[in-house]
């Protein structure tokens, strides 16, 4: 008996020792922050964050791979608690919602396919691509509805997903399971930042619009008599609908599919009708805005582009201030267009709409004269955008060809040529001079710089040596004067301290790696200052105790200027003065509006260290997109004629074009085919099985 007790006791001791050793060998350390964050999360394990459970999300949050407010099942209190654990602050999160991207569902498609019993969209997509007729159309099998963890999606009578906004948490599960990217997360921020891609169901008119307005939708709202909603759709991409409705060159109408039947829809006149309805009723319609972020942005230039930048920046939740050199906002729209085409009352109405979004404006303030770039960055602006306009705008500002130095050490090349003749002292050359762009003749301007005392002069050509065709005589002149020639180089960044330019960063197509070039003075062979986003470079004095560095707030502020991303048609271009960039003023206000939205998106990305950059599948002019070049089974319908005022009645009318009446607007809106990618609206009685791929789900 006693022997058995000793044996069992010995076994117990041995097991205890083994367990103790195992606890040391197999011990797994768990970060207490992860445990604390995991405890703060609701424990729903719904997968709405895109990760397999709350513990995985907690680990991602602590590692910085997910935000404190990434849990879609929890409220703001949970996000604040997690932020407190991590010692960070949380900006207000804008709610996302899932929205389908198709115009017509399976039930309305002309050509129908059976998927051999397959009931899942992902399986159908694997079967011959699940194409039906439209390569990006909704398959209509409801996989997104089945996958939604919050039962926020059902398949509607048209065979398209219908989202319950009250139940949708924006978790993105539906977006992840959809094999054809039909249903996507949407929000104000996403819509402003997003450029159309080849996965989107875009219409020909929408792709042709420089601002990318959802044209078919605002016309549909007019046909339904909901003019306020129509204006809201327009203002998603255009803050000047009343102005543009009068002066737009209408590139969208050139692509309207009605041209295959009779005449394009009067798209722009319908925009004017909806905008005039808003103005005549005096009830301002504003687009949706993201929650305030507390971030300040300065926009230099109060023309169409500058005001558009401010408009979209405000909608992204930031606080923009516009600095305008003139006494009034509006730029060339105020001075270069006949009053019979655009009255100042109309212009002021749209400008006031921009200001009512929370945009502050300061007129009579000239950059480089009344304030400097580093002043704005010291005053708490996280970004400064330059939208000073081109040569026409400069003449408007200065009343002549006076030299301006908006940016530290940066001038237009024509300023150098004027200085060489007039000797006004308005151009101050530093030892290191860079001349950027232009033809081989700029070598003569480089010689002038040497004669004016510059120690080092570099001419940076965008073109290759073979393309620029610099003669042997010019090359010899440059060598004799000690002028360096660089070919195929594109400036991508400016850097300086305080009110001095220090260097430019350029990239050559041959090397593809950014290179620094000392530059105290920069001359641009263009008709406008570059559109750049400036931000502060964080110095040691802001990250290290001043007592240990000796640096103070009075030290020169280091800054950099970054290019916004290019318009999609020129996405592969690099640097300033690239193909597709505006070299003088914009040829149309609608193009300036599109550039303003892209600039606001770039500013947002820069402030959050996200870019700026474009998606690889962004729609370009040469992109391979499904389209049709014939329209069938649609009866002809005459385009409504815009009534005009002329002769002795002009002063009474005030405008040459009088605008549509309600009946004319309704009739013209009814002509819209409500196109999708390759689909379009047909007469109900003629929608039959057809061999023409004209109305597939897309």
pLDDT at site 29: 59
d(CA 433, CA 454): 7
Q: Alpha-carbon torsion 12, 14, 20, 26, what sign?
A: negative
- Global pTM reads 0.87
Quick check: 23 pLDDT over 80? Answer: no
Looking at per-residue confidence, does 120 or 91 come out higher?
120
pLDDT tens for 375-399 read: 999 999 999 999 988 767 777 676 6
User: What integer best gives the mean pLDDT of the chain?
Assistant: 86
Question: What DSSP string runs through 235-296?
Answer: HTT-S-HHHHHHH---HHHHT-GGGGTS----HHHHHHHHHHHHHHHT-------PPP---E
d(CA 34, CA 258): 60
Show Cβ contacts of residue 517 under 8 Å, excluding neighbours closer than 6 positions.
Answer: 434, 458, 460, 503, 504, 505, 506
d(CA 138, CA 183): 9
Parallel/antiparallel/unpaired status of strands 521-524 and 515-518: unpaired
Show Cβ contacts of residue 274 under 8 Å, excluding neighbours closer than 6 positions.
Answer: 218, 221, 222, 227, 230, 231, 234, 241
Peptide bond into 86 cis (omega under 30): no
Query: What is the arithmetic mean of pLDDT over 291-315?
Result: 97
d(CA 597, CA 192): 7
pLDDT at site 686: 40
Domain residue limits, the chain: 1-30, 32-90
Query: What is the arithmetic mean of pLDDT over 498-520?
Result: 90
Query: What is the arithmetic mean of pLDDT over 77-82?
Result: 78
Quick check: 694 pLDDT over 50? Answer: no
pLDDT at site 551: 45
Query: Looking at the domain covering 32-90, what would its CATH class be?
Result: mainly alpha
Locate 102 and state its tokens: 């198709």
pLDDT tens for 234-243 read: 999 999 999 9
pLDDT tens for 192-208 read: 999 999 989 999 999 99
pLDDT tens for 616-663 read: 899 987 788 888 899 989 999 999 999 998 777 787 888 899 999 999
pLDDT at site 697: 39
d(CA 634, CA 681): 8
Locate 627 and state its tokens: 């389209």
Question: What DSSP string runs through 181-231?
Answer: --EEEE-HHHHHHPPPBTTS---HHHHHSTT---HHHHHHHHHTT-HHHHH
């Amino acid at each position: 008996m006693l022997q058995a007790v000793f044996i069992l006791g010995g076994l117990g001791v041995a097991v205890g020792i083994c367990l103790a050793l195992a606890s040391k060998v197999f011990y797994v350390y768990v970060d207490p922050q992860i445990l604390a964050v995991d405890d703060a999360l609701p424990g729903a394990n719904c997968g709405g964050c895109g990760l397999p459970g709350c513990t995985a999300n907690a680990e991602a949050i602590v590692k910085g791979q997910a935000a404190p407010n990434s849990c879609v099942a929890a409220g703001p209190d949970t996000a604040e608690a997690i932020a407190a654990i991590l010692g960070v602050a949380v900006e207000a999160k804008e709610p996302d919602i899932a929205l389908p991207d198709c115009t017509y569902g399976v039930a309305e498609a002309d050509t129908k396919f059976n998927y051999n019993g397959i009931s899942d969209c992902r399986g159908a997509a694997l079967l011959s691509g699940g194409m039906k007729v439209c390569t990006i159309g909704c398959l209509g099998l409801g996989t997104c509805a089945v996958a939604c963890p919050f039962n926020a999606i059902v398949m509607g009578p048209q065979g398209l997903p219908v989202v319950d906004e009250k139940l949708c948490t924006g978790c993105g599960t539906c977006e992840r399971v959809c094999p054809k990217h039909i249903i996507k997360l949407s929000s104000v921020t996403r819509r402003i930042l997003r450029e159309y891609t080849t996965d989107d169901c875009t219409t020909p008119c929408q792709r042709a619009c420089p601002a990318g307005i959802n044209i078919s939708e605002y016309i549909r709202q007019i046909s339904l008599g909901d003019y306020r909603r129509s204006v809201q759709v327009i203002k998603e991409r255009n803050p000047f609908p009343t102005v543009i409705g009068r002066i737009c060159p209408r590139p969208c109408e050139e692509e309207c599919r009605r041209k295959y039947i009779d005449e394009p829809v009067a798209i722009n006149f319908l925009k004017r009708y909806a905008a005039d309805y808003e103005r005549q009723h005096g009830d301002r319609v504003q687009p949706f805005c993201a929650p305030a972020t507390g971030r300040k942005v300065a926009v230099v230039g109060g023309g169409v582009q500058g005001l558009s930048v401010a408009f979209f920046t405000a909608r992204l939740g930031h606080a923009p201030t516009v600095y305008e050199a003139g006494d009034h906002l509006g730029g060339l729209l105020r001075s270069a267009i006949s009053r019979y085409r655009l009255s100042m009352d109309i212009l002021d109405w749209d400008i006031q709409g921009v200001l009512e979004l929370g945009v502050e404006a300061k007129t009579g303030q000239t950059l480089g004269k009344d304030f400097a770039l580093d002043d704005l960055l010291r005053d708490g602006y996280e970004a400064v955008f330059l939208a000073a306009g081109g040569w026409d705008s400069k003449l408007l500002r200065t009343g002549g060809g006076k030299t301006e130095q908006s940016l530290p050490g940066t001038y237009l090349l024509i300023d150098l040529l004027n200085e060489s003749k007039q000797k006004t002292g308005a151009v101050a050359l530093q030892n290191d001079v860079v001349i950027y762009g232009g033809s081989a003749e700029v070598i003569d301007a480089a010689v002038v710089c040497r004669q004016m005392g510059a120690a080092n002069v570099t001419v940076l050509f965008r073109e290759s040596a073979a393309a620029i065709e610099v003669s042997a005589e010019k090359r010899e002149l440059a060598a004799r004067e000690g002028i360096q020639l660089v070919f195929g180089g594109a400036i991508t960044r400016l850097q300086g301290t305080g009110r001095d330019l220090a260097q430019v960063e350029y990239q050559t197509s041959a090397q593809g790696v950014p290179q620094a070039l000392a530059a105290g003075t920069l001359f641009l062979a263009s008709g406008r200052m570059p559109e750049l986003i400036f931000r502060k470079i964080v110095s040691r004095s802001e990250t290290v105790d001043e007592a240990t560095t000796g640096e103070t707030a009075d030290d020169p502020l280091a800054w950099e200027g970054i290019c916004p991303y290019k318009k999609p048609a020129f996405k592969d271009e690099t640097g300033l003065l690239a193909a597709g960039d505006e070299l003088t003023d914009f040829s149309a206000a609608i193009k300036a509006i599109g550039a303003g939205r892209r600039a606001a998106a770039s500013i947002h990305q820069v402030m959050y260290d996200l870019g700026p950059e474009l998606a690889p599948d962004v729609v370009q002019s040469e992109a391979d997109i499904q389209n049709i070049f014939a329209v069938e089974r649609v009866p002809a319908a005459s385009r409504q004629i815009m009534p005009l005022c002329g002769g002795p009645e002009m002063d009474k009318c005030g405008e040459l074009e009088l605008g549509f009446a309600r009946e004319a607007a309704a009739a013209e809106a009814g002509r819209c085919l409500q196109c999708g990618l390759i689909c379009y609206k047909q007469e109900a009685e003629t929608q039959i099985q057809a061999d023409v791929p004209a109305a597939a789900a897309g």
